[in-house]
Structure 1
């Protein structure tokens, strides 16, 4: 396709709490991606950095920060911030530069050194920040929001805490196979049920942690890839970064805002579904073509919601899909074969890039014990704050 760009390299710094700065993490991931691509840093025409608001001024100009750390060599530089969609919007910026002919090879980097506990809005009190209002006026931290969403799924669709726990069991088993994951231990349903309640009905093991980590990609034009000797690269053929459309104008809770009763069906065309639908349309594929998906499992209940928004099943059928094994290894569409955020935790600027790294390794057939047999088409999906969301489709 004319809109395709090649993924020449993918690299990561393992997730965890390493006590170092985001620049060091990002530089490690960048060098790993360059080595994977067989490309020298001096031959990169542009670098796009996904910003971190927790890294001080260097975090707000991440592109230049990483260019300096790798060594000034004259590359064009771009810095992007879009909350949890920062990495995907960085990919989108890189792809636009390649397709417009501005650069043949672009390095994309995202990294974070996250504080422990809840993410607080950066910069102090901000009455125009919906996060600040949610935290301070309602006392609704992110786990509270996750709990409300889980309660809604229980009320509307009949999901149970046992259904949520199955998501954690699945993802922890896959994370145990991933050398880049922070948590590499299998978890049982009994352990989920025994963990402390954080926001009823969700327990500690239903909610992802905060983490340090980094991910990077080397993208190129298809012409450069062929000159470089890569005749059949993984290709990014769609990047969706659409915003909500009226009447679904609220990113976080569009369905709750429009429900007329506790038993009402969610309206068609919710924001999360519109993100993935735009990606499908651009790529010319549909849910039936997917080999795997990497989705934003901030909580176990939210992963179930993504099954429906990706079109893997109808509304309210996610728990059944999970229990049938359709989203597990060997199933129809394995989801979060990386282990997901359940195994990694949040390193905000890096996580959408980490999703594309996993697709790359899976589509190459180099994912080791996590490998999805015959993987040809993969999709990522995440949502962020203030209308930010993204979905990337990669094929081979």
Structure 2
């Protein structure tokens, strides 16, 4: 956790339109383009950047250098990061840490992914899977369905457990997809911009438990980046200092993940709750103070669980939160105005930085048709099984 001893500003962000697999440029082109957009937005020359942190999941070693070499050959350290679906925000965490510590004055975080069609799967079959312990816990709790995608079984199983415990309607999960598509319709960078009715969501192919096809995020290609710097650097270069990282925390699994056969905990509920608590404590705010949230909605079930893990609504009340419209415009807190992973898309390494870009635009008042009126505090939640969770609070100065 960082208590932000030295202010760190997000002075530039960039994101390219997300696309379906097979429709994108190579990762080298996507990554360089997103980095150039962030540098241009910041008004910073790449020669002034002192370190780079680059996230991707599916790619060879030093792919980060290959992407940034398309921007320039300045000889700076380039660190490659892989933390499953929280990869992008892990790169952001490291860049923030480098600036806050005084190690550097300016750093860039870049994330990209060139994905293949179909459900996620491991790249290696000749060594232990990093998710083996999670799969074992899941299998002990609910068995293993050879016909269903692994991630859908994990998160769908958590949704199934929540449904049983709290007696909510299965179509409550579907309503999250409906709202995600409504938000994405306003986002020209999202991969799915067509709206859906609740009937269409619920009638789509069953995947696992309460999850239907339209309740699962799609494999996506894309890239996003952020330029971070100190207050002194921003002042010297006349940069936009409106957005500051007020607090940030990264957590990994604790014993509770694997104790008691609770699928909510297997998919990171406790990691998310711990990271959120640390961030609120460090910033001296509560969830009731947050205006806009970008959270990790890889499946509708995870969005519902994350409402409660982040303290946006008390435990057991997520269904009422959704039915009352408290998760959208006109409600208590606007969640995933970008369309989220469900509709904007989920290029694994880019997701955390795309969330950063959206929230930076929101706090600057630059989100156009998606703008959350009067947004001053923005919360980001990015989760990767295996596991890691990064929660970041941004503040408008």
Gaps of 5+ in 1: 260-268
Where does residue 90 of structure 2 map in the other structure?
89
Where does residue 36 of structure 1 map in the other structure?
41
Distance 2:381 2:332 in 1: 18
1:173 to 174, 182, 203: 182
Q: CA deviation at 1:254?
A: 6.8
Where does residue 16 of structure 2 map in the other structure?
13
Deviations 1:186-223 (A, max 9, x none): 11101112211111321111111110011100111111
Judge which range, 142-151 or 180-189, deviates more.
Answer: 142-151
Q: CA deviation at 1:125?
A: 3.8
Give SS of 1:179's match.
coil
Task: Within 5 Å, give how 1:132-211 maps onto structure 2.
Answer: 134=135, 138=144, 139=146, 141-211=150-220
Q: CA deviation at 1:2?
A: 3.0
> Which TM-score applies when normalising by structure 2?
0.90
Identify if the C-alpha distance between structure 1 residues 211 and 131 changes in structure 2 by more than 3 Å, giving closer, same or farther. Answer: farther
Q: CA deviation at 1:89?
A: 1.4
- Does 1:113 find its partner at 2:114? yes
Distance 1:168 1:25 in 2: 27
Q: CA deviation at 1:369?
A: 0.6
Identify if the C-alpha distance between structure 1 residues 344 and 131 changes in structure 2 by more than 3 Å, giving closer, same or farther. Answer: farther
Q: CA deviation at 1:283?
A: 2.2
Equivalenced residues, count: 381
Deviations 1:154-197 (A, max 9, x none): 10112222211111111100101101100011111011122111
Identify if the C-alpha distance between structure 1 residues 20 and 131 changes in structure 2 by more than 3 Å, giving closer, same or farther. Answer: farther
Where does residue 365 of structure 2 map in the other structure?
365
Q: Does structure 2 conserve the Cα–Cα contact (< 8 Å) formed by 1:330 and 1:372?
A: no
Where does residue 216 of structure 1 map in the other structure?
225
Distance 1:258 1:31 in 2: 39
Distance 1:219 1:355 in 2: 15
Distance 1:393 1:250 in 2: 28
Q: CA deviation at 1:128?
A: 4.5
Give SS of 2:80's match.
strand
Where does residue 265 of structure 1 map in the other structure?
none
Distance 2:24 2:265 in 1: 44
Q: Does structure 1 conserve the Cα–Cα contact (< 8 Å) formed by 2:31 and 2:68?
A: no
Q: CA deviation at 1:129?
A: 2.7
Where does residue 385 of structure 1 map in the other structure?
385
- Does 1:226 find its partner at 2:235? yes
- Does 1:352 find its partner at 2:352? yes
Where does residue 262 of structure 2 map in the other structure?
255
